[in-house]
Chains A and B, each alone.
Chain A
Amino acid sequence: MSILRFARYIAHMTSLAISVKDLSKKYESGFAVSHANFEVPLGTICGFVGPNGAGKTTTIRMLLGLISPTGGTAEILGESISHPEKYLSSVGAMIEGPAFYPALSGEENLKVLATLGGFPIERVNELITTVGLAGRGGSKYKTYSLGMKQRLGIAAALLPNPKVLILDEPTNGLDPEGIQEVRDLLKKLASKGTTVFVSSHLLSELELISEYIVMLRKGEVVFAGTMKELLLQQQPIILVKTENLADLNKIVEMAQADGHHATIRSEVAHIEGPAEWAGTLNRRAFEAGIVLTQLAPQLPNLEETFFEMTGDRS
């Protein structure tokens, strides 16, 4: 029996790209990351979200061996983060935006990293084309726009042909077309078996591509699991608009009287409750002489859920 359990444990562990157990980083000012626990299965796209200062970058830096944890442990591709040399050759990363030598060209910057990592130099031109920098690879990095810098950062992360790709805000500074290109690229990589661990503030983008979500708040993991599980945990929402703005307060009172949590945001009442209750509300509003101009039951999206779970509206 114990052999069977051990075999199951091994099978589970080898199916994981990232496994984090009780990981903590404490500074004099307090915990940047506190007892974080989460797992990311191989070949998936995992969104890593949290408000500014939640500890996302600190977690990523610990995973890459750049800073040492003060507690707990983590494994990437089955190797402990205390021995980053064992897994970093299979990991691509862009941390806190792109960082390159301004006086070197984009191409030369990638060649520095390719030489350092022992990757074929020919891969540099291939990647420059992949990220849409063909024709600008020879220009100095300092002449690049923010979007171009971001693309170069992604190219650098792809240099090792990574099994695990860790990206911190990869779409920052990109135009809508660029964002879509990155989204397609990440999907393509995941379909080929690359695990993508991506932090972003563009929650709608993450919702489109992520199967897994890890949510941090004040250094603590508030959710780790599939996107489906996350959204199912949340109450459906009914959005209500009235002809007369003053009637919104009455709508909120009606919802609260029935035990539903309700708030007014941007001239819209947000009522947590099952879709069926929308019919009850419609009838009561009619009886009270309130004209509804919108009554829309909907499942919460990632953004709503994020605000709900992190309490962050900044």
Chain B
Amino acid sequence: MMRVVFAEWRKLRRPTLFLGTLGAALFFTGLTNTFLYLMIDSEQGNGDRGRQIGREVLNLAGGSVYGFSSVGGLLGIIALCVFAAQTAQEYTYGTLRNLMVRQPGRVRILLGKLIAMKIFALILVLIAALVSIGISYFLSDRAKVSTELWFTSEGFQEIGKTLLNVSISVIYFGILGMVLGLLLRSPISAISIGVLWLLIIENLIGAVKPVTLEWMPGNQLSTIAQGGSPELAYSHALILGSSYVFVGAIVATVLFSRRDVAN
């Protein structure tokens, strides 16, 4: 299994992929934090879906990572795209047959790829967290936000908790991407269907019938990153989100193990 991990890592570490993905992650991290602090007094809101996040929230111990938890959903979508592309491209390039000749254990190939991509995603999350906290600290003065509680022991606990939640969320998004890649066998189809669903369809359905958001997979995973939201409890999001991911992963694994490799 470790051989699969190392082989996959050789593909993931190439500069265009790694730096390109990191660039996208940092762009969204910077954007979200900038809006959060520079529009703190805006009547249009400064948070997700136009929410108003005031100084009383950002002054708290978890204030340093509030922006980071908000960007968790977008980091997840980036992970979904990377995981989906890395999985589906094996079919479009025809390289899956090479992998299987060198490693006939199909489940091993899947797990090895998943572990390597998880490591990739966790490195991105860690860097994004550091940059996010840095930007928040840098903009806090201008937004008149107090950082007194941010780096206390309670503050570090909040940082750890948020890091864990965002990591779970990003990995879950990534697994969904991998499932789409395995089912659709085309990077373009997997990414476009995944992004279309998460960014447009879920939001459209949610706008028409808000109660459905309680059951939408993308909303569960974004809520996990935020550690819960006023509309959705963390435990509900974690259980339902995990269930979606688990069922998807099982279906994809069974299909992958049994399906003929004909391309």
Name A's B-contacting residues (CB within 8 A).
61, 64-68, 84-85, 88, 91, 93, 95-97, 99-104, 108, 111-113, 115-118, 156, 159-160
Contact = CB atoms under 8 A, between A and B. Distances in A.
B98 to A, nearest CB: 6
Given A85-B104, A116-B3, A101 B11 contact: yes
Interface stretch (B28-36, B89-97, B181-189): B89-97
B98 A61 contact: no
A285 B228 CA distance: 99
Given A101-B93, A116-B102, 10 more contacts: A61-B262, A66-B97, A67-B260, A88-B104, A96-B94, A99-B94, A99-B98, A103-B14, A112-B7, A115-B3
A95 B10 contact: no
B100 interface: yes
Contact of B10 (A88, A96, A112): A112
Contacts of A84: 104
A95 B97 contact: yes
Contacts of B95: 99-101
Interface residues of B, number: 25
Contacts of A64: 97, 100-101
A102 B11 CA distance: 11
A61 B95 CA distance: 14
Given A101-B93, A117-B3, A65 B100 contact: yes
Contact of B98 (A68, A102, A108, A113): A113
Contacts of A111: 10
Contacts of B102: 88, 113, 116-117, 159-160
Contacts of B10: 104, 108, 111-112, 115
A172 B221 CA distance: 49
Interface in B95-130: 95, 97-105
22 contacts: A64-B97, A65-B104, A66-B261, A67-B260, A84-B104, A88-B101, A88-B104, A95-B97, A96-B97, A99-B95, A99-B97, A102-B93, A103-B14, A103-B16, A104-B10, A108-B14, A112-B7, A112-B10, A112-B11, A113-B98, A116-B7, A117-B102
Contacts of A156: 98
A100 B16 CA distance: 17
A31 to B, nearest CB: 15
B101 A67 contact: no
Interface string B7-27: 100110010110000000000
A85 B105 contact: yes
Contact of A93 (B14, B101, B262): B101
A113 B7 contact: yes
Contact of A116 (B14, B89, B103, B260): B103
B4 interface: yes
A93 B104 CA distance: 13
Majority DSSP secondary structure for residues of A touching B: loop
Nearest to B260: A67
A93 B16 CA distance: 30
Nearest to A159: B102
Contacts of B246: none
B6 interface: yes
Contacts of B101: 64, 66, 88, 91, 93, 95
A18 to B, nearest CB: 15
Nearest to A118: B3
Contacts of B89: 101
Nearest to B9: A115
Q: Which of A95, A116, A156 has the most CB of B within 10 A?
A: A116
A68 B104 CA distance: 13
B188 to A, nearest CB: 15
